[in-house]
Amino acid sequence: MYVPKQAVSNDELAQRGLDTSDEWIRTRTGIARRHLAGDHETTAQMAIAAAHDALEVADADPREIDLIILATVTSNHLMPSTACMVQDALGAIRAGAFDLNAGCSGFVYALSLAQQAIASGEHNLVLVIGAETLSRVLNWEDRGTCVLFGDGAGAVLLRATEGPAGIQASVIGSDGSGSNLLIIPAGGSAMPATRDTVDQKLHCIQMNGQEVFRFATTILAQATEQVVTKAGWQIEDVALIVPHQANMRIIASASKRLKLPVERFVVNLEEYGNTSAASIPIALCEAVQAGRIAPGENIVLVGFGAGLTWGATAIKWSVAPGEAAAPSYRNVWRWLLYRWAGLRSFTRQKARRMLVLFIRKADHLGRR
């Protein structure tokens, strides 16, 4: 996982002139701080940093990756996919790469696709990333949204295995009748950027908080129950639930509906707020690092968000705690591969440019 260094507290937001208070934000959401990207940090950079760690923890070779799926609603650009920049930076020369936009459910959607790509026999090693720079699409004058979100990235590697462990079941769903409830109205083909759209801050997140809240409290429990049934488990068999980190009250409500103690849920939104598609992999990573997940245990990842979308994944955890510990040293060989990837990218860009110049020159001489 990767989160920007810059942490901004609720009090700091109030001091910056926003009409809010630490007390309001904490009691209504559970959020105390959020980490915000610095001027030079982008979704691609955070995704690459998280991917570096995932490759190191898994001790994997980037050249063996078959597919990279980057779940995000804040791609570096509308086109091309940020996943391609990640592929280039990692030197993942065999990998296909694309972005997936399923709102805050994006990571769970991506896991579902990755698992199916592996189960089909087509792919062996798939990198799944959730990365967001939401601070760039927030209206910092709208207290109903800007206090909720933060930036960051998390990544996992999925590998084909013979064992009975791993992803046991996935569910994904969508209800587009709620597409207006959580939306960035402008910047797409329906409303291209104009001076007016910028002036009206239509390139920022708009949300109907109460409607989204109502949807989230129901769907979190429902999606969990669905995936548990599909996996052939009972709800009591689930050791840990890693929910999308949107609001403590939403998680508490799901815990009540599922009749599971709230301690069974991973909660880190106090520190990071809602990092959309990055929230589940960041929470998963922290749970692993804290030793909260043991091999053989059943865990559920569950998300919901813009679309409206939802999704859940049932996993029998198979990685021993030691194996999944935070990387403590730099692997020199992998570091060299990344330097090589940078050089390769640079020379390919230059070679492409020189080829164009050469063809133009030849064309010019031919015409004379």
Ligand X SMILES: CC(C)(COP(=O)(O)OP(=O)(O)OC[C@H]1O[C@@H](n2cnc3c(N)ncnc32)[C@H](O)[C@@H]1OP(=O)(O)O)[C@@H](O)C(=O)NCCC(=O)NCCS
Binding positions for ligand X, rule: CB under 6 A: 20, 24-25, 28-29, 104, 143-144, 147, 207, 209-210, 212-213, 216, 246-247, 274, 305
**Whether 104 is catalytic:** yes
Dist. CA 189–CA 354, nearest whole Å? 34
* Nearest of 160, 162, 89, 179 to residue 129 by alpha carbon: 89
Residue number, 21 or 116, with CB nearest to ligand X: 21
Active site residue 124: no
In the set 104, 146, 204, 285, the catalytic residue is 104
Quick one: 168 or 247, whose CB is closer to ligand X?
Answer: 247
What is the rounded distance in angstroms from the CA atom of residue 296 to the CA atom of residue 240?
A: 12
| Cα distances (angstroms) measured from residue 178 to each of 51, 59, 174, 209, 306 | 33, 42, 9, 12, 8
Q: 170 vs 247, which CB is nearer to ligand X?
A: 247
Beta carbon of residue 11, minimum distance to ligand X (angstroms, whole number): 12
User: Residue 144 belongs to what H/E stretch?
Assistant: helix 143-146
The residues, ordered by sequence, that sit 6+ positions from 349 with a Cβ below 8 Å of its Cβ are none
Beta carbon nearer to ligand X, 250 or 341: 250
Give me the least distance between CB of 152 and ligand X, in Å please. 15
Tell me the closest approach of the beta carbon of residue 239 to ligand X, in angstroms. 25
- Edge to edge, what strands does the sheet with 298-305 contain? 166-174, 309-316, 298-305, 238-243
Q: Considering 35, 52, 123, 244, which one is annotated as catalytic?
A: 244
List 84, 274, 285, 298, catalytic entry: 274
Q: Nearest approach, Cβ of 151 to ligand X (angstroms)?
A: 15
Q: Tell me whether residue 48 or residue 251 sits nearer to ligand X (CB atom).
A: 251
Radius of gyration of the chain (CA): 21
Residue found under tokens 């026999």:
121
Please give the residue whose beta carbon sits closest to ligand X in the complex: 209
SS (H, E, C) 1-44: CECCCCEEEHHHHHHCCCCCCHHHHHHHHCCCEEECCCCCCCHH
Shortest Cβ 31–ligand X spacing (Å): 9
Q: Are the C-beta atoms of residues 260 and 253 closer than 8 Å to each other?
A: no
Nearer to ligand X, 53 or 142 (CB): 142
Shortest separation between residue 335's beta carbon and ligand X, angstroms? 36
Q: Known catalytic residue: 35?
A: no
CA nearest to 118, candidates 164, 166, 85? 166
What letters, b where the CB count within 10 A reaches 16 and e where it falls short, cover 103-133?
A: bbbbbbbbbbbbbebbeeeebebbbbbbbbb
β-bridge mates for residue 316, sequence order: 166, 298
Query: Which residues carry out catalysis?
Result: 104, 244, 274
